[in-house]
Amino acid sequence: MHNGELHDFKLHNDAEDRRHAAWAPEWGVSQISIVLPAYRNAATLAELHARLVRALEPEGATLELVIVDDACPAGSGEVALRLAAADSRVRVITHDRNQGQRMAVWHGLAAARGDVIVSMDADLQDRPESVPLLLHELRERRLAAVFGDREGEYQGRLRMATSYVFKRLLYRLTGLPQEAGTFVALTHEARDRILRIETAAPSLALVLCAAGLPLGSVPVVRETRATGESAYTEWMRIRLACNDLRVVWKLRRKFRTTSGRGRAAPNCEP
């Protein structure tokens, strides 16, 4: 890591991707897992399931859907259990209490069995038909993870504006794609690596970045919400944003210190 700056673990360029080729496994995917954190998504889960099955059938791999019911009071768990009863490819994890989307994603990742794992929202804003785009980029560039770089006006103007400012700041600090979030495909090796990183309320994007893995992104269209509203209030968004900035600050200090001691930086070869 040069000068210990957090900028130095930005997303890898093509040369760095080739440097990591020895780390990235040969593409031999027999199972694809889709992790779906569910909270107030009873109205969209059945359609999401059907569209994922159709979209991923050409991939020729066994499909697993891991639905994490985050103690939803509005029937998401019941719909998920009905889907599981009708389709053995669906597995349901049930939280006894609400733990938030981030922990739901984390628990789904830990339970997923696939060679490749895709995390996405369950509200149909992330289009199931976009998943093969992420898989293609992951396969062709032999990356550890590929984000869906979300495009479109998929939320209100105020939220779009505040989200842009925050994500632009994270991009400047870390090099993450500005729309990097929970829509991401990653290898199971990358999953195993990030699960060893201890952090409270982990941001999947930040943890992947901090893990020093070869990352990429591909443009995808994000739809407006078809039904319901976001579970994140403005206060929750501010709180999570502040937490993410604290994480970045801690990483910045940590990597500046460890760089001075000659230890490996996050974007050094594993």
268 falls within a domain: no
Domain span holding position 55: 6-260
172: its two tokens: 């400047």
Residues 200-228 have pLDDT tens digits of: 667 888 888 778 788 999 999 888 756 65
Residues 42-76 have pLDDT tens digits of: 999 999 999 999 999 999 999 999 999 999 999 99
3-state SS of 213-224 is CCEEEEEEEECC
What is the three-class DSSP state of 38?
A: strand
Spatial separation of the C-alpha atoms in residues 240 and 126, rounded to whole Å: 21
181 falls within a domain: yes
125 falls within a domain: yes
**Residue scoring higher pLDDT (100 or 234):** 100
Q: Is the pLDDT of residue 259 over 80?
A: no
Q: What is the mean pLDDT of the chain?
A: 77
84 falls within a domain: yes
From the list 195, 192, 166, the residue with the least C-alpha distance to 181 is 166
pLDDT of residue 184: 97
The predicted model scores a pTM of: 0.75
Determine the average pLDDT of the residues in 231-239: 59
Q: Which residue has the tokens 């779906």?
A: 36
90 falls within a domain: yes
156 falls within a domain: yes
**Residue scoring higher pLDDT (17 or 243):** 243
52: its two tokens: 């994922």
Residues 105-154 have pLDDT tens digits of: 999 999 999 999 999 999 999 999 999 999 999 999 999 999 998 675 54
pLDDT of residue 212: 79
Structural domain count of the chain? 1
CATH of the domain at 171: 3.90.550.10
